[in-house]
Structure 1
């Protein structure tokens, strides 16, 4: 049995027997940072001066709001038969050098940097190792921000939610949809299929943002439609990036493939793509993710420092993380809809439509939610994020597509 599998089996017992086991032993999975390299980044009022990082003593992440994790694993870019980890330029190091030099935002800042996760013996072991790290961190309400190699690592990030015993919502930002059935494809092109096929199945919804039609197989898009998942082309993001806010707001975890950003703003990936999100749009999406009260992990993948001669991609990613952190510290805790924080709207319908549709609007943030009744009376209802445009569509007598997709999923 591999070390990753053994740890997975023993962790629940160890946590019950020794409550401080996870705190004392997470350090064995991480490589400390180079103290000489990061000591120079402790400039007053910059993030580097406020981040407790692993250079000697492993930081107490239990009291932190956000934990940075570097994962230098790129075997997902090759065939699945690849076994030994490759020696690659550390993507997180370049990002850290930019991030630590950014000025701290307003409010408090309780961040830790756990260093770089040691790759497993096999790629699957790395997934399981990442799973355990994510599982433990979110159990302590500490949000992992993963700066990774290949995008298939999102599979390990997703596995970290298996212990919750509830369905979860996932959003991925990518220029393609990594669900190919091609047996010759590399792992970073088919991890979404692994997620969909995983047992037990606890994925309720998947939102795909920024895809480009000419990079996606028609059969893949047909699968997304059949499963009643939301997908938005990059042109739709360009037209109105604000409409992506309710898509992101539903997520428990969000993953971001750097290839979703146009090459002009982030050249550190391959193959180069002249089209995609702008750097500003990427930061806007990360700001939405930070604001999301339910989001508990963020992964940013596919950055290759060897292709980033002037550090532009590292700066773009660092700024995305900065906006995520700022968004987190502006959360409103808007999760209870029977409070005086919300205004309730009822929209009446006729004909074959539902009798009425219930909307909620926050008095402080002015965000909107939509209550969706299940087709089966024993399944109750679900309140999901929506936009003001959905409300305007309803008062015109049209059923919003978001309502239709959600009801189809809950049955």
Structure 2
């Protein structure tokens, strides 16, 4: 497929300052005059300037140049960061050409994500409104299997109000989409006073997980197994406190720190199963000192570094895994855990309720194992079994 028809080339001026051959920008093949060979790349950067999802008005997308796109400011910062150790096979495909309608843009995004993940290239989507995660999710429809999604956001975008903008109801679109291929949805960093109780009730009925920002900050390592579950991850920049990322509306003084956001991106990069990553809602007009651009660039840097530290540890019959069985007096007869001796990450085997369903092995933490030893059934096991059926 000729992906170049979907993209605008980049303005060469943004790279004029790149003099140091040891920076990340020196290792990224980008779309200036010639479209890069993305098939040999591990990660593909994609700039998005589709913002109609923020408004309830059905207006045309205003004409904007590369200088005005969210990804331009991020690229300037990202390309100036020093490359980490090890190899680096990245391409920058340029900026996505928006469709005539918002729906057209989502369909274009679907095609792009589908093609890239089919060739084992991870798309990293930069900019645009958060409703575009729907197009990112649609890119998994061809896989003919259930997928796991994690979103980092200060609110849950599941409103039923017909007058609400698209970026406040895309999670409902995903849940209602047919065919339904969503196995799990986990929300990280929500703030209770920004979420309707009915929305939280819907999430609980579906046996999905949600973690308040306070829970995340108290025990950030517990988010690693949550993210390790994901096939796709999206981040709404409003999940980060205004001091560290001021370029979004409405301003929010509370949320994750920039460091915590980078740690989550490191977890995402290390996840062997994750195949697409999107950072949304950055508005460069609200970022005159480019603080948010630097925060996002650093988050992407940590994602890339995490990717090149993947352990390829999904073969549970491999000798690098130690198997532990925990017996129970009631409930399940026993619970099986796996620990990777190299990474020290833990996994949990979940038996289905129905005999015609297969068991699944899901990520967990050492704390889950300790709770099982005490006779407590981990909540992750209960929710996973309920979803399997």
Partner-residue secondary structure (3-state), 2:226: helix
User: What is residue 175 of structure 1 aligned with on the other side?
Assistant: 154
1:297 and 2:308 equivalent?
Answer: no
Instruction: Tell me, yes or no, if the aligned pair for 1:75 and 1:86 is still in contact at 8 Å.
Output: no
* 1:393 counterpart residue number: 371
Equivalent pairs counted in the alignment come to: 386
Residue in structure 2 matching 1:277, options 256, 271, 282: 256
- Bigger shift: residues 37-46 or 380-389: 37-46
Indicate conservation of the 8 Å contact 1:83/1:123, yes or no. Answer: no
Structure 2 length normalisation: TM-score?
Answer: 0.98
Specify the alignment match of 1:312 in structure 2. Answer: 291
- Scaled by the length of structure 1, what TM-score is found? 0.93
Aligned to 1:58, which of 35, 52, 71? 35
1:19 matched to which residue of 2? none
Matched, 1:71 2:23: no
For residues 88-99 of structure 1, the aligned pairs below 5 Å read 89-99=68-78
Counterparts of 1:6-405 in structure 2, within 5 Å, are: 22=1, 25-79=2-56, 82-87=58-63, 89-351=68-330, 353-405=331-383
Deviation, 1:93, is 0.3
Quote the offset at 1:83 in angstroms: 4.0
**RMSD of equivalent CA atoms:** 0.8
Q: Is the contact between residue 14 and residue 72 of structure 2 (CA under 8 Å) also seen in structure 1?
A: no
| Separation in 1, partners of 2:138, 2:127 | 16
- Point out where structure 1 has 5 or more consecutive residues left out of the alignment: 1-21
Q: For residue 42 of structure 1, report the CA deviation from its aligned partner.
A: 4.6
| Unaligned ranges ≥5, structure 2 | none
- What's the CA shift for 1:86? 2.4
CA distance in 2, matches of 1:120, 1:137: 19
Partner Cα distance (1:97, 1:313) in 2:
12
Inter-partner Cα distance in structure 2 for 1:375 and 1:36: 59
Task: Give me the whole-angstrom Cα distance separating, in 2, the residues matched to 1:265 and 1:108.
Answer: 30
Deviations 1:27-56 (A, max 9, x none): 111000011321432521000100000001
User: Quick check: 1:390–1:400 contact (8 Å CA) kept in 2?
Assistant: yes
